[in-house]
Amino acid sequence: MPAPSRLMFRIDFNKLRFLVCDDNPHMRRILRTLLHSFGTREVHEAEEGATALEMYSHYVPDIVITDWSMPIFDGLELTQMIRQPGSSGNPYVPIIMLTGHSEKRRVTIARDAGVTEFLAKPISAKALYQRILSVVANPRPFIKTKTYFGPDRRRNTTAKYIGPERRNGGDVEILQQPSLLDKARSSS
């Protein structure tokens, strides 16, 4: 089934619940302001990973936006805990990772931890909106192997790929991620 065109619908942000986790209160305020400007009503905030994990289990957000570097445990550890099979909450929740460090190595580490999208600081309203649109309109299938559970790390998937990055980790289970599109589609 082809991916829906971005021009065919509008996201109704007031139907989506967000969890924002960042130790910087100024950054949380910026994110909250941007999300409210998009039409979001429900934004829960945490200043570190341990509180965010509790809030994640309690509020069951549709999308998590987390900073990488925080005290107690960071956004990478938060992502790994959310992605644990059998953890409370929705292990399929889209996770957008924020960081001031966007080197390829860091992007790869975040991807391998199960992050859905990556957003370098300083952020813009357009870039944040695009990442949210991507996770809502084009959810990637989830992959489950002995060593990984999370969104398919490949953007372009083809069964005939035979290059050096070919998946060879043994049994692979592909799980379709529940889509937020029906929840967030605007009726106008």
Task: Give the Cα separation of 181 and 105 in Å (integer).
Answer: 31
Q: Residue 64's closest CA among 91, 102, 100, 37?
A: 91
Q: Determine contact, residues 160/69, Cβ cutoff 8 Å.
A: no
5 belongs to a structural domain: no
Residue 7 is assigned to a structural domain of this protein: no
Whether 4 is covered by a domain: the verdict is no
39 Rama class: left (phi>0) / alpha (psi -120 to 50) / beta: left
For the chain, the domain total comes to: 1
**Looking at the domain assignment, is residue 99 inside a domain?**
yes
Residue 126 structural domain: 13-184
Does 6 fall in a domain? no
Q: What is the pLDDT along the chain (188 residues), one digit of tens a residue?
A: 444 444 445 788 999 999 999 999 999 999 999 999 999 999 999 999 999 999 999 999 999 999 999 988 899 999 999 998 777 778 899 999 999 888 899 889 999 999 999 999 999 999 999 999 999 988 888 888 888 888 887 755 555 555 555 545 556 777 666 667 666 665 44
